[in-house]
Amino acid sequence: MLEYIKNRTTDFNAGYFLNDLADASKNLGILEAKISSYQFNSILIPMLQKKEAVSSMYIEGTQTTITEVLKNEINPKPDDEKIRTEVRNHMKALAFGAEQLRTGKFTHSFIKELHTCLMSGIIAPGLEKTLGKYKTKDNQIKSSTGKVVYTPPAASETKKYMDELISFMNNAEDGLHPLIKAAMIHSQFESIHPFSDGNGRIGRILISLYFYKAGIINFPFFYISEAINMDKPVYYRMLTDARTNSLDEWIKYFLHKVSVQTVKHIGYIDALNALYTKTKNTVKECINSPKFDEIIECLFTHPVLNANVLDDQLSVSHGQAVRYLNALEEKHVLHSDDRKRGKTFYFAELLDLARRE
C-alpha cells in the first residue's frame, strides 16, 4: 500500500545528499541570474520548451528531433500530425500552467485541465472520454517487457491520495527545502498514477510548474526530461525503489539530474549569446535594412524557415523575403535544401547547438 506523502517527510537523511542539494541550488541560482539578465527571452524560452517537449516525447516512445519538429512547422506532413500535436500541447500546457499559478494554487481542477491541455489528440485510443478526469479503472505500471512492476492505488482511492498530495504541494510552511519537495512530489504523483494515460508527461511538467510556483525559478523554463533521457532505466528503477525504501537515493538522483540539466542550460545560454553576437555581425555585412533586428529575431525563433515564414514575420513582399534569404545563404548564415522553388532554409549553427546542448 502506498504511504501518504505526509508520512514520508522524515523518510530521508538530508546529510546523504547535502552536497547534491548545495550544487543544485547553486547552479539554479547561476541559471536564474543568466535568465534574468538575458535580453532575448522571446528567443530562448520557446526553444527550451520545444526541446523539453521532444525529450518528454522520447521518454514516452515518440522519437523525433528538434530539427524535425521545426521542419514540420513550415512543411507539415500528414504522418507527423501526432508529433505536431504533442509539441503544441506541451507549449499550451506550460502557458496555461504558468498563467494559473501566477496567482492561483494547485487544485484538482488545475491538474485535470493540465491533463486536457497536454493529452488532447494524443491520448491512447479508446481513452478519449478520460481526458481531464482521474482514472475510473485500476491501472498498473509495467516494464518494457510487459512485467507488472508496480500497482498504484485503486481508482476508488485516487482522490484521497491526490487530496493529500495537493495539500502538500500548496503548503509553503512545512520547512522542507523546495528542491527536496519537488523530488517527493514527482515520486508521489507517479506512484498515485491518477490518470488512465499521460501520467509521465503530467508528472514531468509538474516539476517545472512547481519550481515556478515555489519561487525556485522566475520563469517556467526549467525542464528535466533531457537529463532523465540519459539513463531512463535508472530513472524508472529509482522511482520504483523509492516506493518501498527510504527516499535517500531517489532525492539524490533527482538533485543530480537538476544539476546536470542546469549546467546544460547554462552552457546553452552562453553559446546562444556567442552565436547571436556572431550572427548579427555577419548579417550586418550583407543586409542594410530597417528590418535588421526583426530579421535577426526571426532567424533565432525560426531556425527552419522559408520565404513565406519570413515575409509573414517581417511584413515584407515575398520577393524581398527571397532576396534576404539568398543574401543570408551567400554569407553561409543559412543553408538551403537546393530546391528550385519553395526552398527551405536552415540556420544550421543554431540547430546544431539545440541538438548538442
User: In the prediction, which pLDDT does 81 show?
Assistant: 82
Neighbour tally for 334: CB within 10 Å: 23
User: In the prediction, which pLDDT does 71 show?
Assistant: 80
Query: How would you write the pLDDT of the chain (357 residues) with one tens digit per residue?
Result: 899 999 999 999 999 999 999 999 999 999 888 877 766 666 777 777 777 777 777 777 777 777 887 887 777 777 778 888 888 898 899 889 999 999 999 999 999 999 999 999 999 999 999 999 999 999 999 887 888 999 999 999 999 999 999 999 999 999 999 999 999 999 999 999 999 999 999 999 999 999 999 998 877 777 788 888 888 899 999 999 999 999 999 999 999 999 999 998 888 888 888 999 999 999 999 999 999 999 999 999 899 999 999 999 999 999 999 999 999 999 999 999 878 788 999 999 998 888 765
- Those residues with Cβ within 8 angstroms of residue 101's Cβ, 6 or more apart along the chain or in another chain: 110, 209, 212, 213
User: In the prediction, which pLDDT does 210 show?
Assistant: 96
The domains of the chain are located at 5-260, 285-356
User: In the prediction, which pLDDT does 344 show?
Assistant: 93
CATH class of 5-260: mainly alpha
- Enter the C-alpha cell of residue 96: 496555461
- Enter the C-alpha cell of residue 169: 504541494
285-356 architecture in CATH?
A: Orthogonal Bundle (1.10)
* Secondary structure string (H, E, C) spanning 136-200: CCCCCEECCCCCEEECCCCHHHHHHHHHHHHHHHHCCCCCCCHHHHHHHHHHHHHHHCCCCCCHH
State whether residue 346 is helix, strand or coil.
strand
* Contact (CB, 8 A) for 89 and 122: yes
Neighbour tally for 241: CB within 10 Å: 14
User: In the prediction, which pLDDT does 77 show?
Assistant: 76
* 173 burial type by CB count under 10 A (0-12 exposed, 13-18 middle, 19+ buried): exposed
